[in-house]
Chain A
Amino acid sequence: MSAIFVILEENGGHISRISWEALAAGTALAEQTSLPLHAVVIGSSTEALAAEAAAKQVAAVIRIEHALLNAYTPDGWTSALHQFLTANPATYVIFPHTYQVRDYAPALAARMNQVLIGDVTGIAAGPVFTRQLLQGRLNGSYKHASDGPCFVSVQAGAFRADALAVGSASVTTFAPTIEPSQIRTKPGAPFRASAQTVDLSSAPLIVSVGRGIKEADNLPLVQDLAAALGAELAASRPICDNGWLPMERQVGSSGQTVAPKLYLAVGISGAIQHLVGMKASQCIVAINKDPDAPIFEVADYGIVGDLFEVVPALTEAIKSAK
């Protein structure tokens, strides 16, 4: 019988948080379709991960296990899952939208003549899948239009992992056939860049600057604002990519995650990769000339205007208020 398979990922020896969110998305689809929900773990030693998954309300847990799956490689994962999905027909295959999934799920789907519906933020009746377009400025609704399995990856934070019910599922093992020669890439161990000297995660007040600042020469504008507030200065990725501020000041999925009392975003559009790093902030203020900028979707207070006028005025107002 066909089923929904949710592919769980490991992080630090446990099932990652976003994987549980993917399972929540799978649960929603199972309710909508009445299909059985199965959880899948992959690796060279998956017993503990499988036990974690089996304690949730799923019909079954599958361990895809092979010695050559000890470290992630796109070749290993694609081949193993392809063999599994060929032997076990799926209606839906759900992934967390992580860097790892981005790396192999499109190839896996293509191998089965399908296309991944990636980075999904919502699932409505149909099912209709919502994902963002134009860096979050628009939403698009997508449908799967084929007989084959529908591959979906879900965005971090889009589904609620804490709503998962407990259960005690049976665990089975699937042993794929993989030859060493099939694994064409050799992955090295993860490493961090140079030691961090600023810890943005403990700063109570943060002024964060984005590409709206236009040039490095304009940075004093926001530095003055941060100084007047007694805030740390942070930035969106392009500012750090350009070398205008060090990478350790970057907030977002590839930088730091912060949750200050105040996050003041200046000239930042609010792409999801930025939002995931700051949306838990207590109070979010956005200054942006575009009233439709996605940053306003998460802001408590907003000023729609030219930052080159608003920021100096704000710095003055703060100074005189103190």
Chain B
Amino acid sequence: MKLRAENLSLTAQGRAILDGVSLDIPTGVSFGLIGPNGSGKSTLLRLLAGLEPRAQGHVMLDDTRLRDLPRREIARRIALVEQQADTGDALSAREVVELGRTPWLAALQPFGPEDHHIVDQTLAAVGMTELAARHWSTLSGGERQRLQIARALAQRPQVLLLDEPTNHLDIHHQLALLRLVSRLQVTVVMALHDLNQALECDLLGVMSGGRLIACGPPATVLTPERLRQIFRIRSTSLRDPSDDAQILRFHCLEDER
């Protein structure tokens, strides 16, 4: 499913948090969002999910305006994993994932075999099958993050919005998650902090001060000059001898004066 943003803006407390962001993300592409803290990545993801009624501009899903779709229809197409999610409810891990079926079930319709199957499958996909009976409060940050991703997958979305999905994950689960996401046949937009992980995306967008200042394939976007400007770092590009893949190494500018 194609995702397009036209001139998205959001002002809060007299400050432009998002300022005229336009995007065009083709079907099935993985789109990485990078930018310093507070540059508006999370806000942009919330707007793309249609969760900000005060926003200006449009989000288009294929040829439909997000605003013209009922909430439930949006939730069947777009799933969002926010940066932090917490609950005081004594939910089991499985019950968290079951929430993902909400948009597919009528008010009084019970869970069907298909729903149970999808929940089993997504729990397995994030390696949480063993922990399905555990309570939310007893899970680690990484386990919670994986559950939220499983919940989003259980929505069977065509667009997956992930806000720093590798946060809290150990290195194995980071790689497993990125591999899982790259194999999905859906459009993925994710905010990332690890620029080497961002290199693996099909397209990258760079956020700074609420504006999208660059957008394109990673090689053209992640130039040393731009990294210096935006992140205030010096970067060197290396090659992995085993497969000749590009790797970035970073140095603090302050150390070099």
Q: Are these two chains actual partners, yes or no? A: no
Residue ranges of A at the interface with B (Cβ–Cβ < 8 Å): none
